[in-house]
């Protein structure tokens, strides 16, 4: 009988990040200059990123060493536990074995701290004093605020306005760590003022907030920009999730048939899936399926077009080859703020285009129904983002029941929903837009 909780000792915290780039069957398309549309070099990124992160972004090395200083702080919460969701399985009456990686146990309640610590450390090593960033639901902003405090840096967060209003406790958390937080679009940047002039009541978007944070960083000599998802180096840092999970699944004596994670920019999906996809790419696990679950209101992978597009709404970032809904897209104000991004990670888009992963989109009403079932079985209230993965798990567990297939499912519980209780209140009171 598999244990309910599978733990690893601190000695099993990974020493290196896994880089999927050299294992890709075809090369990743390079980012392009927004003006010339020619491939960019490191020099274009130096105004906003430190040199070490630029090197990681463009690296072809199969692994990249984790600094000892970062690993020492990882000990606060890593390795994170892997759970067998036995009560959830029983409620669903499914032959499927359901496992989940609990990234919500980090000090900030999500997986985002994994990369925030690395980014803050590298910037400090290169003499940076202040980091500027954007955040949707506030998980990334909270993580960077915490990392900056631990590394002795200042932090400036542009928080998407609808989330700024919906999630006050995330905002308070960032301020508790000492960060400055403003609602985006704001009057502090040209990008923000331009949006407000055209749409004074704009709910904001991650694309707008990115434009503000990038502008902030580019205009100050003491400041660099930090991003919580999408870029190669961010996805790289999250692969500690999947590396730990592989060892834990070995202890459980099983290997997943299905790997599922929610998808916004791609970081938590990549973090869990990429180390397992290495086995699919080398031919040892050809039947492995990896599924990215996204909101129907911002269905980038399932409804977007794969083309070169800007990462921000103002069109100032390099162009990236990715699935996109258009950099001017402003999503409906659904509660999964961390998934409301118009684009996707180029690496995730590349794998989807190659048929190596799959994507599904769900409406928030059905997502919250599944989140409630999970919370009432397993005890943890999931973040609205993570609930998308849970709803996908429910669908595949029911398919396993219908076919009587003993499927092994692994998903990423990327964050808890303690600060998202207003969203649950909206659902429980019947006020939520169920079909958004």
Query: Any idea what the CATH number is for the domain that residue 374 is in?
Result: 3.40.50.1100
Average pLDDT over residues 383-407: 96
Is 350's pLDDT higher than 80? yes
Tokens of 351: 């794998």
Q: Is residue 123 part of a domain?
A: no
Q: Is residue 179 part of a domain?
A: no
Average pLDDT over residues 320-347: 82
If you search the block for the tokens 């597009």, which residue do you land on? 309
Q: Is residue 34 part of a domain?
A: no
Crossing angle (nearest 10°) for helices 267-281 and 346-353? 40
Average pLDDT over residues 113-126: 98
- Domain range for residue 347? 5-12+67-109+233-428
Per the model's pLDDT, the better-predicted residue between 206 and 384 turns out to be: 384
**pLDDT computed for residue 337 by the predictor:** 60
Give the confidence band of 329 by pLDDT, cuts at 50, 70, 90.
Answer: confident
**pLDDT computed for residue 60 by the predictor:** 95
Is 420's pLDDT higher than 70? yes
Give the confidence band of 107 by pLDDT, cuts at 50, 70, 90.
Answer: very high
Per the model's pLDDT, the better-predicted residue between 434 and 279 turns out to be: 279
Cβ atoms of residues 417 and 384 within 8 Å: yes
Average pLDDT over residues 337-360: 91
Q: Is residue 327 part of a domain?
A: yes
Q: Is residue 135 part of a domain?
A: no
% of residues, the chain, pLDDT over 70: 97
Question: Which residues does 293 contact at the CB level (< 8 Å), separation at least 6?
Answer: 260, 261, 262, 263, 359, 360, 361, 362, 388, 389, 391, 392
Is 150's pLDDT higher than 90? yes
Q: How many domains does the chain divide into?
A: 1
**pLDDT computed for residue 340 by the predictor:** 73
Cα gap 158→145, rounded to integer Å: 12
Per the model's pLDDT, the better-predicted residue between 45 and 120 turns out to be: 120
Q: Is residue 29 part of a domain?
A: no
Cα gap 322→310, rounded to integer Å: 9
Is 206's pLDDT higher than 90? no
Q: Is residue 138 part of a domain?
A: no
Which of 420, 368, 426, 413 lies closest to 170, judged by CA? 420
- For the entire predicted model, the pTM comes to 0.94
Average pLDDT over residues 191-199: 95
């Amino acid at each position: 009988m598999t244990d309910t909780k599978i733990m690893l000792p601190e000695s099993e915290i990974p020493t290196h990040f896994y880089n999927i780039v050299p294992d890709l069957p075809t090369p990743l398309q390079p980012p392009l200059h927004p003006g010339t549309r020619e491939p960019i070099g490191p020099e274009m990124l130096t105004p906003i990123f430190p040199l070490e992160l630029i090197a990681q972004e463009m690296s072809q090395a199969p692994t990249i060493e984790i600094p000892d200083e970062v690993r020492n702080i990882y000990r606060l919460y890593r390795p994170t536990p892997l759970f067998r969701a036995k009560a959830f399985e029983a409620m669903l009456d499914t032959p499927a074995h359901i496992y989940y990686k609990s990234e919500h146990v980090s000090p900030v309640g999500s997986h985002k701290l994994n990369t925030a610590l690395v980014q803050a450390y590298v910037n400090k090593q290169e003499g940076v004093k202040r980091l500027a960033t954007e955040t949707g639901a506030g998980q990334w902003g909270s993580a960077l605020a915490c990392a900056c405090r631990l590394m002795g840096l200042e932090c400036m967060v542009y928080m998407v306005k609808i989330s700024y209003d919906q999630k006050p406790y995330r905002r308070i958390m960032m301020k508790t760590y000492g960060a400055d937080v403003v609602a985006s679009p704001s009057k502090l940047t040209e990008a923000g003022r331009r949006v407000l002039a055209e749409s004074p009541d704009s709910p904001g978007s991650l694309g707008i907030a990115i434009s503000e944070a990038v502008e902030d960083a580019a205009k100050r000599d003491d400041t660099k920009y930090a991003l919580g998802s999408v870029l190669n180096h961010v996805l790289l840092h999250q692969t500690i999730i999947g590396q730990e999970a592989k060892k834990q699944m070995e202890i459980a004596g099983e290997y997943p048939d299905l790997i599922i994670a929610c998808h916004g920019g791609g970081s938590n999906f990549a973090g869990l899936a990429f180390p397992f996809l290495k086995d699919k790419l080398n031919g040892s696990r050809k039947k492995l399926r990896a599924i990215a679950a996204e909101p129907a209101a911002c269905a980038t992978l399932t409804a977007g077009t794969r083309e070169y597009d800007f990462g921000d709404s103002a069109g100032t970032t390099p162009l990236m080859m990715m699935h996109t809904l258009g950099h001017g897209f402003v999503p409906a104000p659904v509660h999964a703020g961390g998934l409301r991004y118009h684009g996707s990670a180029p690496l995730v888009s590349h794998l989807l285009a190659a048929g190596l992963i799959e994507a599904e989109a769900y409406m928030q009403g059905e997502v919250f129904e599944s989140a409630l079932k999970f919370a009432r079985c397993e005890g943890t209230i999931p973040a609205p983002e993570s609930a998308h993965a849970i709803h996908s798990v429910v669908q595949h567990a029911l398919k396993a029941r219908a076919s009587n297939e003993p499927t092994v499912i692994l998903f990423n519980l990327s964050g808890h929903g303690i600060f998202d209780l207003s969203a649950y209140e909206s659902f429980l009171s019947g006020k939520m837009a169920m079909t958004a």
